Structure 1
């Protein structure tokens, strides 16, 4: 009987790991939760209940940790996602696509270009609407409430459109581009990985309010202890968990966004084989955490991130200056920055694309980089103190990301069919 139960448990866990490892399924699950949050927050029958749950405070006794449930999802659960990001980054920097800077130079530069261009377009569009919009020059009128918002306050969201959601962009590739060469996926993986790293730096630099210096001594101490513990032959996991939680608490108290604790300890985990092990620990740990990240942390975060109430969820909301600016930044700014950087780096600076790829081959994948979601939702909540602006920014991210996904899906599908036809012709000629 016990063996049968163990077999069933292993079967269930295997199914969960399979679903989490599928870019397509994990992306669709997170998208479903994002829509569910938007619906629950705006249906008259569920809006009050959803808001009550999201605003219910949960406190840790004898500490300053007293956050509503929605913030626990953002600051707590999302740390699991950032830990997997840190582990993946460490593996890529050590043995992966970022280990050889020369080979990864073009996608790395494209990541920079894809992060610089969207804020420029976002700022330009908001400035244009402030100048020629329905309100006095230098202010904006939000169509949802008619309230006037100064341009300077609106422009605080410049960083919202900088990040690419690697999970969703790869999900789009998995759904629409099965026949594409692996070099395109590798290009997108490298670009999105560097994009994640730059987004983490943005959060640390621009969206942290530093408090007492002595908390940073505690963070450094936790980092050293973690570094030692995860290199031991037998890792004492209860102690490792305590150190990780302490690092999170000290990040919170120091005024640094606490999810970055996950990135910090992830980067300190060994990414080469130690003690005769067959696989690197960073890679192994990331695989074990992936189900919790993809099927728990990200869906719950998406549920509360998009669960914002609008007085009137109507097509008129699309005329909000923030929504318009974010759509332009994500749908136009991302691919424009990536493609311009790719062309300049290959035509003017002599860098090389992967074998068999041309710059124009990357356009459909570059459009997929306009899918923001996870980190974009997070930055939107950090950039605006005004809940109305934060809500519209998150709605803009959702709409812009869906438009980018639709455009890239169509382009990738057509591109994939061309590769299928080319492969068929080559197979026929060989036959």
Structure 2
């Protein structure tokens, strides 16, 4: 059981807010359900990435022939696309749709609903994006640098991180997992803003206006209680196709539709519409869309010469340093400084070293980093492949270092998880006792 916040020693009545304290039972249950799906998806993601690497290095001609195979309807929307593009523009839209719902829920019911609780993860996410970008630009400021890839090391991949935790059997208390999830949600929002602003080109006004009109219709129908997948799925596909034609990256439409859903409960609802749709869409995103994207995106040539280039050329080295050093220093430093400034008190059963280990784990930037690698170098596939090799290398280094740090405290984490499970059982027993008491009172009445 977690000790309650300690009052300030000298200045009287103000209590210091506790950081990474025990979450309320409903939030822990939601978190456990969400992370269970993400963990399974993370393991599938690891398998897909490993399969892509083996396939691309053992049978490169077959791998690239599959990537270049084109399918889809021809016509004014130009949807006759290679499978690689369908994976990047189509499958990841579902990933960002779920991210949009997560973000909306965090704003109305999660850690981001109050400014005081939101400040730490938001600052951590912003610093975790800014410092890798600055570090990348510093490394690439000289001759031979490629500043177009500045956004590649800025992303956090929650599914990959949880997959690593599952593979190495490392326990992690719910408060640290919640911080990691909230951090990743804010990180996804920043990533989609970066993609929309910096990696959109050749805007087609009529398609953009039509897509925005579709989003307004989507929001209007949802808010007025209209139901039926047979109505919303075709509308969502039309919004996506128009956004794709507009020149804005189509994953932006996924986030916009996720944010349009209502995520607060009304009346006697057990789940809000957003929560219900997220429950249906998350397994498809984590278990199908993201692993398939990894299968099509992670197949890069790995050889001694490629690995040597990763650590000797400015662009890939900037990505590795951005993920391993920039993300860690940005997230940990931003959180520590904000906690000191706001006088937030760390949960006494945790240490700042625990947050440092989670910050290293957040340096895994697999999915969105691979996406931005393609967007940053659309006319230079060799540079994109070198960037992807750097993403894989940096993410692997973050996974190894985080695993070592978390393993050192795993016995303590297991005890915290056991205490949380005991607290859950006590709350469930109390609820059952209260229900029985109410039943007896009704009978007596």
TM-score w.r.t. the length of structure 2 is 0.80
Counterpart in 1 of 2:133?
119
Change (3 A) 1:304 1:353: farther
Distance in 2 of aligned mates of 1:424 and 1:111: 29
Counterpart in 1 of 2:377?
384
Distance in 2 of aligned mates of 1:198 and 1:391: 24
Distance in 1 of aligned mates of 2:167 and 2:55: 28
Tell me if 1:323 matches 2:316: yes
Tell me if 1:56 matches 2:69: yes
Change (3 A) 1:309 1:171: closer
Q: Which runs of 5+ in 2 are unaligned?
A: 1-32, 420-445
- Counterpart secondary structure, 1:279: coil
Distance in 1 of aligned mates of 2:79 and 2:50: 29
Counterpart in 2 of 1:28?
43
Q: Confirm or deny: 8 A CA contact 1:106 1:352 kept in the other structure.
A: no
Q: Which runs of 5+ in 1 are unaligned?
A: 1-17, 131-137, 140-150, 426-431
Change (3 A) 1:371 1:305: same
Q: Confirm or deny: 8 A CA contact 1:371 1:400 kept in the other structure.
A: yes
Counterpart in 2 of 1:11?
none
Tell me if 1:240 matches 2:240: no
Change (3 A) 1:178 1:20: closer
Counterpart in 1 of 2:354?
361
Q: 1:197 aligns with which of 186, 189, 195?
A: 189
Q: Confirm or deny: 8 A CA contact 1:367 1:404 kept in the other structure.
A: yes
Tell me if 1:402 matches 2:396: yes
Change (3 A) 1:423 1:118: closer
Distance in 2 of aligned mates of 1:282 and 1:117: 33
Tell me if 1:302 matches 2:333: no
Change (3 A) 1:367 1:353: farther
Counterpart in 2 of 1:145?
none
Tell me if 1:206 matches 2:198: yes
Q: Confirm or deny: 8 A CA contact 2:48 2:295 kept in the other structure.
A: yes
Distance in 2 of aligned mates of 1:159 and 1:75: 18
Deviation track 1:213-232 (CA, whole Å, cap 9, x = no partner) reads 23232122111211122235
Tell me if 1:339 matches 2:352: no
Number of residue-to-residue matches in the alignment: 383
Change (3 A) 1:377 1:423: closer
- Offset at 1:300? 0.9
RMSD: 2.5
Counterpart in 2 of 1:293?
285
Q: Confirm or deny: 8 A CA contact 2:208 2:242 kept in the other structure.
A: yes
Deviation track 1:96-126 (CA, whole Å, cap 9, x = no partner) reads 1111121121111011111111112212223
Distance in 2 of aligned mates of 1:164 and 1:336: 14
Q: 1:83 aligns with which of 86, 93, 97?
A: 97
- Offset at 1:313? 6.5
Worse-matched range after superposition: 263-272 or 173-182: 173-182
Change (3 A) 1:19 1:31: farther
Distance in 2 of aligned mates of 1:337 and 1:390: 25
- Offset at 1:240? 0.6
Distance in 2 of aligned mates of 1:110 and 1:269: 26
Counterpart in 2 of 1:415?
409
TM-score w.r.t. the length of structure 1 is 0.82
Distance in 1 of aligned mates of 2:193 and 2:102: 16
Distance in 2 of aligned mates of 1:226 and 1:422: 44
- Offset at 1:273? 2.2
Counterpart in 1 of 2:242?
250
Q: Confirm or deny: 8 A CA contact 1:113 1:337 kept in the other structure.
A: yes
Worse-matched range after superposition: 69-78 or 230-239: 230-239
Distance in 1 of aligned mates of 2:267 and 2:74: 41
Deviation track 1:265-293 (CA, whole Å, cap 9, x = no partner) reads 11001101247432011111111112211
Tell me if 1:279 matches 2:271: yes
Q: Confirm or deny: 8 A CA contact 1:24 1:171 kept in the other structure.
A: yes
- Counterpart secondary structure, 1:102: helix
Q: 1:106 aligns with which of 106, 120, 130?
A: 120
Worse-matched range after superposition: 164-173 or 278-287: 164-173
Change (3 A) 1:312 1:339: closer
- Offset at 1:179? 4.6
Distance in 1 of aligned mates of 2:346 and 2:118: 9
